[in-house]
Structure 1
Amino acid sequence: MIVIIGSINMDLVLEVPRMPLPGETLAGGRFHTAHGGKGANQAVACARLSRAPAQTAMIGCVGDDAFGAALRESLTNDGVDIRHLQQVPDTASGIAAITVDAQGQNSILLAAGANAELHPRHIDQAEQLLSRASIVVLQLEVPLATISHAIERAHALGKTVVLNPAPAAPLPSALLSKVDYLIPNEIEAGMLLGTSLDGGDMQAVQAAAIALQAQGCRNVLITLGSRGVYAALGETCAHHAATVVDAVDSTAAGDTFIGGFVTALSEGQTPQAAIAFGQNAAAYSVARRGAQTSIPYRRQIA
C-alpha cells in the first residue's frame, strides 16, 4: 500500500497570455475550478497508475465547506482510501490560485485553509494504516512539525519514505537522513542548498544532487521539466531525458511523475524503470489541461 500524507486543495485556474507584471492588471482567458493540492494530486496519480487503486490511502484535512465535500467525493471516486481524511469544522478548505500562460507554464498562490490543521496526533491515529504501507509519500504544504513526525514514524516502521520538498523549506540533516527518495525540482533543490539552479547546466544539477545526498538523503531525483530528471541513486548518477511532447499545461506534472515513480517502485520495479514510468505519465499529463483532470490512467500509458 502507498500512503500519501499532504495537502488537498480546490484549484482556481485562470489562463493568461503571459504572467502579469507587479501592479499590472491583465485580461485573462478561460477560468475553471479543479481538484488539486500536491498531496491529493499524488494520491490520485498513484491510484490511477496502479494495478490496484484501492492500495492508495490519503491522510490530510479538508474544511466543512462545499469545496471539502467535493474534494472528498472526488478522491473516493478515484478509489483512494479516505478513512483518515479529516473534516475540520468551521474551516475553509485549502485553495490554490493558478495562472497558466500561453506556453503552458504556471504560477501558483496557496491559501492553506484546513491543510494547516493536520497535526501530529492525526499521524498517530493512522498508525495502523502506516504499518500496512510499503511507501509513505509526503510534501511540505502541511505543517512541517506534522511532516517531521510522520517521517520519524514511517522510518521507525521501516517504510520507504519519499519526500517532495515543495514548497521548499529548510530541513535538518537529521530529518533528511530518514528520507529514502528526495524529489525536488530545480528551484526547490537550489533553495534547499541556498543557491540558484533554475536553468543551470547538468554539472551544476549533478553537484546539487550530490550535495543533497551529503545532507543525509539516500537518493535524490531533481526534476527538470522538459529536460527530464537527474537522479543520484546511491553512488550512481545519471540524466534521464524527458519524452518530448507539445506542452499545454504543466500543472501537476511533477505530482504525476511522483505518483508514477512510487507506484512502479511499490510494484517492485527498479528505480531506473520507475523513473521512466513516471516520466511517461508526466509527459501524458502536460499535453492536457488541469491538475487531476490531466493525470492519466494506467491503460492510457501502457
Structure 2
Amino acid sequence: MKKNILVIGSLNADISISMEKMPIIGETVFGETIKYSNGGKGANQACAIGKLGGNIEILGCVGNDELGKKQISNLVKYNIKTDNLKIQEGIPTGTAIIYVDKNGKNSIVVIPGANNFCDINYLRKNEESFIKSDYLVLQLEIPMETVEYSIKRGKELGKTIILNPAPAPENISEEILKNIDYFTPNETELKHLAKLEKIDCIEDIEKGAKYFLDKGVKNVMVTLGENGVLLVNKEEIKHFPAYKVKAIDTTAAGDCFNGAFVLGLSEGKSVEESIVFASKASSIAVTRKGAQDSIPLREEVEKVKD
C-alpha cells in the first residue's frame, strides 16, 4: 500500500528563455525562444510524485491571480491534493526566469512573491496534513523559519524527512540537519554548504557528504548530473551511474529526481531501488523542455531499460 507524501514548498510561474550561450556580465545576447509554464521547486517535486502515481498533497502559497490559478489547475490534473493551498491577496504568484543554453545548462532568477507568505501560522492551521503524511518533502524557496518549523514538527510526529537544499543558503542549522533522513544537494550546493575549497574528484564529494553525516543527517545523496548520484551513509558509499541521454534542458531534473525518489520509498522500494527509479525518471526529464511539462509519466519510466 502506498504511503502518504506531503510536499511543503514553492509554486512559481516559469519564464524559460533559450539561447546559444549565457551572457557574461555586461553582455547582451539574443534569445531564441520564450516559454511560459508552471514551476517552483515544491510544485515540481509534487508534480513528479503525482505524475508517477503517488499519494501526494502540497502546502504552499500562490497569489490570487491567473498564474496561481494555472498552477493549481495543472497540479489537480495529476491528482495532487491542493485543497489546503494558501491564496494570498494582493501579492503576485512567485516567478522564476530561467535561461537555458544550447547544451541544456541553466541559470535561474527567482522572485518569491506569494511564496514568502507560506508561514508558520499557515502550517499550524494545517496540522492534519502533517499528521496524515508519512513522508515530508521540503526545499528552500520558502522562508527558512517555515522550513525549520516543518522539519521539527514532522520529526516530532515521526515522519521521514527529505530536504533538497536548493537554493543553497549560507548555512543550515544543526537543529535542522540532525532531523533529516535524506539530504539531496547537487555538487554546487554540497560545495557551498560543506564549505569545500574544491570538488575535483569523488573523494571531495565524499568529504562533503561526511560533513553532513557528522551533523546528524542519516543519508546524503549528491546528484551529479551526467555523472549520476552518490549515496553516502554510515554503512556505505555507493555510486549510481546516470542513464546516458542527450540533455536539452536540465531545469527540473533535480526536482524530478527528488519526487521520484520519495515516490519509490512510499511504495516500499529500497533506497537503492528508489535511486535507480529516480535516475530513470530524471533521464527522461532532461530530454524535454520546461519544468513540470518535462516530468515523465509512470509508464514512460518503466520502459527505461536497466
For the criterion TM > 0.5, the same-fold answer is yes
Change (3 A) 1:98 1:145: same
Q: Which range moves more in the overlay, 256-265 or 119-128?
A: 119-128
- The alpha-carbon deviation at position 235 of structure 1 amounts to 2.1
Equivalent positions of 1:159-238 (< 5 A) are 159-169=159-169, 170-197=171-198, 200-238=200-238
- The alpha-carbon deviation at position 212 of structure 1 amounts to 1.2
In the alignment, residue 221 of structure 1 is paired with which amino acid? M
Equivalent positions of 1:84-233 (< 5 A) are 84-169=84-169, 170-197=171-198, 200-233=200-233
Structure 1's consecutive aligned runs of 4 or more residues displaced over 4 angstroms after TM superposition are none
Q: Distance in 1 between matches of 2:51 and 2:253?
A: 14
Q: Is the 8 A contact 1:197 1:205 kept in 2?
A: no
Superposed CA offset, 1:159-207 (max 9, x none):
0000000011211112100010000001111111122555x21111111
Work out whether 1:28 is the aligned partner of 2:66. Answer: no
- The alpha-carbon deviation at position 285 of structure 1 amounts to 0.4
2:48 corresponds, among 20, 35, 45, to: 45
Work out whether 1:269 is the aligned partner of 2:269. Answer: yes
Superposed CA offset, 1:256-298 (max 9, x none):
0001100000111110000000000000100111111110010
Q: Distance in 2 between matches of 1:258 and 1:236?
A: 20
Q: Is the 8 A contact 2:213 2:233 kept in 1?
A: no
Change (3 A) 1:179 1:86: same
In the alignment, residue 42 of structure 2 is paired with which amino acid? G
Change (3 A) 1:196 1:259: farther
Equivalent positions of 1:227-266 (< 5 A) are 227-266=227-266
Specify the SS of the correspondent of 2:85: strand
Superposed CA offset, 1:109-136 (max 9, x none):
0000000011011211111111111100
Q: Is the 8 A contact 2:196 2:208 kept in 1?
A: no
TM-score (norm 2): 0.96
Q: Which runs of 5+ in 2 are unaligned?
A: none
Q: Is the 8 A contact 1:57 1:81 kept in 2?
A: yes
In the alignment, residue 9 of structure 1 is paired with which amino acid? N
Q: Distance in 1 between matches of 2:182 and 2:84?
A: 24
Specify the SS of the correspondent of 2:216: coil
TM-score (norm 1): 0.97
Q: Distance in 2 between matches of 1:280 and 1:223?
A: 13
Q: Which runs of 5+ in 1 are unaligned?
A: none
Q: Distance in 2 between matches of 1:234 and 1:142?
A: 30
In the alignment, residue 204 of structure 1 is paired with which amino acid? D
Specify the SS of the correspondent of 1:107: strand
Work out whether 1:281 is the aligned partner of 2:284. Answer: no
Q: Distance in 2 between matches of 1:19 and 1:163?
A: 29
Specify the SS of the correspondent of 2:222: strand
Specify the SS of the correspondent of 1:280: helix
Q: Distance in 1 between matches of 2:223 and 2:197?
A: 14
Change (3 A) 1:230 1:26: same
In structure 1, the partner of 2:73 is: 73
Change (3 A) 1:58 1:196: farther
